[in-house]
A and B are shown apart, each in its own frame.
Chain A
Amino acid sequence: MLRNFSFLLLLVSFSLSLSAQETDSVGYHLTNRAVTLSIGNSRIYDSYLSPLLYKGSGISLMDERVSFLSKKLDYLSKYTEYACNADFTNNPSETASILGLSFRGFTGVHYHMKPIKNMNLMLGGLANVDLGGRYQNRNQNNPYSMILNANLWASVMCYYHIPLKKRTLTIREHFSMPFVGVMFSPNYAQTYYEIFSESQYDGTFPITSFGTRFQWRNKLSLDFPIKICTFRVGLLMERTVTNVNELETRNMNVSCMVGLVYNYLTFKGSKKIPAEFRNPVE
């Protein structure tokens, strides 16, 4: 188990090592931030909890930030995302339910390209951690299924700007897919009592890749400024299929996103704030 984690930490630290670079050139780079709420359909299949497909709704609150990695390297940007998700699903006869709650964080780096005018194509990698659980309200010794995984993702993001007379619309497409990771899973019919009370952790943190964890995530959105705000509407789709320890899970979420987008500048640390900026508390 420790070896699996060490392997993953090595990969994560490699992907994040780029962010350690700093330069002192002049010029200010903004951080683009979007806070969105997604509501939509959710499907959960977790063979540890039930052999049936549960259907219902899901809600998610997401905070995404894109900023340049450093002032000089304006072809590399840093991406971070935090999201809280909740799924409320029922079995086919609607006599039992699965409640899913999870928190997830992403961070990573993208390389910028401009293949055509007004388009910003970004290719990169992300690392993420998911933490949460599912609760089935009718099971006796197996009511919980813990969600704990960490993955490395390939990520493609594309911004296409459509200049109009008074404003510019932005279409954003973000597709990502994990290629390696580690996840928690009980052994086939092992109860959580045995894992945590009897400390039987063997085989509960397998390494995953495409064959054992097939997942993709797609966010298509449109940003449009109206007066003092820039709004975002979009479609969020995410599919996860895992197959480890002879246990299968499937998850599908299709949600409509709505939120706000804004750009901001951060001054932090011991450096002096440039004279053209005024600090309200000084």
Chain B
Amino acid sequence: MKNKIIAPFVALMALLTFSSCDKDLEVEEEDYMENFEMLWKTVDEKYCFFDYKKDSIKNWNTVYYEYKAKVENCRSKMDLFYILGDMLKELKDGHVNLYSSFDIARYDIQGDYLDNYNSKVISSDRYLGRDYKIAGGLKYKILENNIGYIRYSSFSSSFSDANLDYILDYFRNTEGIVIDVRDNGGGYADLVNVLASRFTDRKVHVGYMQYKSGKGHSDLSDPEPIYLEPGDGLHYYGRVAVLTNRNCYSATNDFVQTMMVLPNVITVGDRTGGGAGMPMSSELPNDWYMRMSVAPYLDVNMHYTEFGIDPDVKVDMDEKDELNKIDTIIETACALILNASF
């Protein structure tokens, strides 16, 4: 009787234990082809813009065969990194990167666009000079024409509600505010709403959000509307100009997209860099890791802004102005505010 109970149980346990070995997940860390296959497959299953970019990037299956041949002839780990990095650049996405301990593979979002930003000009006395104030990650000053100027260089530099209260209180009697987010490559997405929420007095529909819902290239969730709600603390309902250039990327692109919806806001400068897909991380067996866009943001008209947003007023920096330490884009924005052009 005892054996009749014990024997089947021991057999069941042996079977369950044997089937739990996860041999299919074992990897050869330094196998070049295995690293290539995993990278290609991860992107194939998770990247969210294949459908949207089908006319502007290579077919991903074609990319597989093209780069597989290169990996087969690869002789060193460093060569492998640059081959895989080049493969990722085919996606034309600044949110797709491969990280190693010796380099970060990245797509050049600026391309042929002008810089349209010169930090030396901003540091001149006409603008920030040396007597500007700092609140969290924001630098600010009232310019000579009584326009408040905020320089925000990275959404990774945080700020608090108290910081914003002090700035907006300081600017309460100004003619308008210029928010300069040129060369701001992004950062914390939640700071976008914290900042933008001080410039609206009502809940505003500002866009849509999707996420990759499955492994197929077209598997995207239904767009969910996203809203901007008025924030706590002091608000500013005067004229606001947001300055943009091609290096406004990721969270900054989202900030520009959000601010553009507000009636008292105008955007001035150059097309933004885009980066409208929230990235997620993954990794390879050989210790490199990567990120790629998985959740697209859409503007209020349901258009992807992955390739950037055109400003309301397109202006480039004038070379002569720049030599004279005059920022053409700031001057244009100030003129628009003072002339009540929007």
Residues of A within 8 A of B (CB): 43, 45, 50-53, 91-93, 95-96, 115-116, 119, 121, 136, 138-143, 158, 173, 175, 187-191, 193-194, 197-198, 200, 216, 218, 237, 239, 245-246, 250, 252
Check B211 against A187 for contact (C-beta < 8 Å).
Answer: yes
Complex CA gap A80/B29 in Å reads 43
Residues of A within 8 A of B219 (CB): 188
Asked whether A53 and B224 contact (CB < 8 A) given A93-B286, A141-B280, A193-B190, the answer is no
Check B189 against A193 for contact (C-beta < 8 Å).
Answer: yes
Check A52 against B46 for contact (C-beta < 8 Å).
Answer: no
Complex CA gap A45/B189 in Å reads 28
20 contacts between A and B (CB under 8 A): A45-B22, A45-B25, A53-B27, A119-B2, A136-B281, A138-B289, A142-B280, A143-B281, A188-B211, A189-B280, A190-B295, A191-B211, A194-B209, A194-B211, A194-B278, A198-B224, A218-B16, A237-B17, A239-B20, A250-B22
Residues of B within 8 A of A173 (CB): 9
Instruction: Tell me the smallest distance from the CB of B283 to a CB of chain A, in Å.
Output: 5
At the interface, yes or no: B279 with Cβ under 8 Å from chain A? yes
Complex CA gap A6/B280 in Å reads 33
In the complex, the chain B residue whose C-beta lies closest to that of A190 is B211
Check A193 against B278 for contact (C-beta < 8 Å).
Answer: yes
Check A139 against B16 for contact (C-beta < 8 Å).
Answer: no
Residues of A within 8 A of B5 (CB): 115, 121, 158
Interface residues of B in 1-29 (CB under 8 A from A): 1-2, 5, 9, 13, 16-17, 20, 22, 25-27, 29
In the complex, the chain A residue whose C-beta lies closest to that of B21 is A252
Check A139 against B22 for contact (C-beta < 8 Å).
Answer: no
Residues of A within 8 A of B2 (CB): 116, 119
At the interface, yes or no: B325 with Cβ under 8 Å from chain A? no
Check B29 against A93 for contact (C-beta < 8 Å).
Answer: yes
Residues of B within 8 A of A52 (CB): 25, 27, 283, 285
Complex CA gap A69/B95 in Å reads 59
Asked whether A51 and B213 contact (CB < 8 A) given A96-B289, A239-B16, the answer is no
At the interface, yes or no: B124 with Cβ under 8 Å from chain A? no
Main secondary structure of the interface of B (DSSP, over half): mixed
Check A250 against B25 for contact (C-beta < 8 Å).
Answer: yes
Residues of B within 8 A of A (CB): 1-2, 5, 9, 13, 16-17, 20, 22, 25-27, 29, 38, 42, 46, 48, 189-190, 209, 211-215, 219, 221, 224, 226, 278-283, 285-287, 289, 291, 294-295
Check A51 against B282 for contact (C-beta < 8 Å).
Answer: yes
Check B211 against A141 for contact (C-beta < 8 Å).
Answer: no
Check B280 against A187 for contact (C-beta < 8 Å).
Answer: no
Asked whether A53 and B22 contact (CB < 8 A) given A115-B5, A193-B190, A200-B224, the answer is yes
Residues of A within 8 A of B289 (CB): 96, 138
Check B25 against A218 for contact (C-beta < 8 Å).
Answer: no
Complex CA gap A45/B26 in Å reads 11
Residues of A within 8 A of B1 (CB): 115-116
Residues of B within 8 A of A53 (CB): 22, 25-27
Check B20 against A191 for contact (C-beta < 8 Å).
Answer: no
Main secondary structure of the interface of A (DSSP, over half): loop
Residues of A within 8 A of B189 (CB): 193
Residue in B38, B48, B286 whose CB lies within 8 Å of A189? B48
In the complex, the chain A residue whose C-beta lies closest to that of B16 is A216
Check B13 against A139 for contact (C-beta < 8 Å).
Answer: no
Chain B CB within 10 Å, residue with most, of A43, A96, A121, A191: A191
Check B280 against A139 for contact (C-beta < 8 Å).
Answer: yes
Check A189 against B46 for contact (C-beta < 8 Å).
Answer: yes
Asked whether A92 and B280 contact (CB < 8 A) given A188-B215, A191-B294, A218-B13, the answer is no
Asked whether A93 and B287 contact (CB < 8 A) given A141-B281, A189-B48, A189-B280, the answer is yes
Q: Which 9 A-B pairs have the closest CB atoms?
A: A189-B212, A93-B287, A139-B281, A189-B294, A53-B25, A190-B211, A95-B287, A239-B20, A142-B280
Check B283 against A50 for contact (C-beta < 8 Å).
Answer: yes
Question: Contacts A53-B25, A188-B214 given; 19 further ones with Cβ under 8 A?
Answer: A45-B25, A50-B283, A51-B282, A93-B29, A95-B287, A139-B281, A140-B279, A142-B281, A173-B9, A175-B9, A187-B221, A194-B211, A194-B295, A198-B224, A239-B16, A239-B20, A246-B214, A250-B25, A252-B20
Check A141 against B278 for contact (C-beta < 8 Å).
Answer: yes
Complex CA gap A237/B21 in Å reads 13
Residues of A within 8 A of B13 (CB): 175, 218
Instruction: Tell me the smallest distance from the CB of B105 to a CB of chain A, in Å.
Output: 16
Complex CA gap A159/B2 in Å reads 13
In the complex, the chain A residue whose C-beta lies closest to that of B5 is A115
Instruction: Tell me the smallest distance from the CB of A150 to a CB of chain B, in Å.
Output: 23
Check A198 against B226 for contact (C-beta < 8 Å).
Answer: yes
Residues of A within 8 A of B190 (CB): 193, 197
Chain B CB within 10 Å, residue with most, of A53, A92, A246: A92
In the complex, the chain A residue whose C-beta lies closest to that of B27 is A92
Instruction: Tell me the smallest distance from the CB of A173 to a CB of chain B, in Å.
Output: 8
Instruction: Tell me the smallest distance from the CB of B297 to a CB of chain A, in Å.
Output: 10
Check B214 against A140 for contact (C-beta < 8 Å).
Answer: no
Residues of B within 8 A of A216 (CB): 16
Check B295 against A191 for contact (C-beta < 8 Å).
Answer: yes
Instruction: Tell me the smallest distance from the CB of A117 to a CB of chain B, in Å.
Output: 10
Complex CA gap A63/B213 in Å reads 40
Complex CA gap A173/B211 in Å reads 45
Residues of A within 8 A of B48 (CB): 189
Instruction: Tell me the smallest distance from the CB of B205 to a CB of chain A, in Å.
Output: 13
Complex CA gap A122/B46 in Å reads 47
Complex CA gap A189/B294 in Å reads 6
Check B285 against A138 for contact (C-beta < 8 Å).
Answer: no
